[in-house]
Structure 1
Amino acid sequence: MEALVAEFVAFVRSRAMPEPFVAAYQQIARQFLAAFPGVPPEHFGVEEVDAFLRRAEQTGASEQQLKNARTATEALVWYMKNRARPSLQPPPAAGPPTRTEERVSFIRDVQVADLGACRSSDLSSRGIFIETLATLNVGDELELSFRLEHEDPPVTLSARVVYAHPMGAGLAFRQVEPQVQSRIDRYLAMARGGD
């Protein structure tokens, strides 16, 4: 079991998942696999995910914990079914990153048209990273809505997928209205400590 968890964690980490999420995925993967000791990895599916979530709910898990557990266990099941694919091997180093904007940690619910609720992990003045198991392709156009602060009115804008992998996507904002850009920039300055 530990070898499989380590392999899954290496995969998650290779996909630029922020470290707090990597640790959470690791913990949930261990709990999930331990809950079904007699099931071979390639036989895991929706039934085991649902049973695991029912058990978590019965032990008092919050709605957010259940949502996080579903995301992590579905990612693990997907990985176990697809781990032999060559495309899941880490890509070769491609030179320096092309990102020009500093990102800040940004753990929020993000509503995405046609996808529903997703979870973000970081934000910059030009984009956001969302976690989703939905298949997204580079170039896809999305409509997003999220709150910068929990009591603020939501920010609604368009974005394009610029980076996609099986558990999430990097999105670049498109045609941001000046007042929305100003709100994002103010939030980022505050999050960076008033820089």
Structure 2
Amino acid sequence: MATIIPSEQLLGLYASGWFPMAMADGSIRCFSPDPRGIVPLEDFHIPHGTLKTLDDPAWEIRIDTCFETVMRACGQREETWIDETLIRSYLALHRNGAAHSVEVWRDGKLAGGLYGVRLGAAFFGESMFHYVSGASKVALVRLVERLRSGGFLLLDTQWVTPHLKRFGAREIARSKYLKLLAKSLAAKALWT
């Protein structure tokens, strides 16, 4: 039977620069990478190919309509850090308004999306997935638009992947990250 990480404890981890991941042996470990991956919202770059993908009128964006489905889809990979304990824990955060999903639909079906945690003016991106090519890129662009319009200061990606690097993601030292995190936690932003 899966346990649950209390919401206060989970949010406390994020507020101090840490995040949990499920290990193959069933344990949960916490990480605070140095360097840390972020997407600077002011320097967000949309690659040319993604611009063409965004122009497709068949995409439909929904927010927070199927959080658990998005999270489970993110965990459907050969090597995953998402287990039932984390699913239950983040569902509790979602019910409390601190975890969100950006969903991309096409032809009435979920095509891709992402989820993460919101605290102050910080958004901690946890994972993304796609069933339809381009859907996760659309989700990321729509997330950044939402964060910018809401006055967010930080989009944490934990690590930088080649995919995220194309959008302007970069690594910063943990000491710099913690200063940016503190500034973001002290600020207010709207998830609208």
Both structures adopt the same fold (TM-score exceeding 0.5): no
- TM-score normalised to structure 1 length: 0.25
Bigger Cα Rg: 1
- TM-score normalised to structure 2 length: 0.25
- Structure whose residues are more often helix by fraction: 1
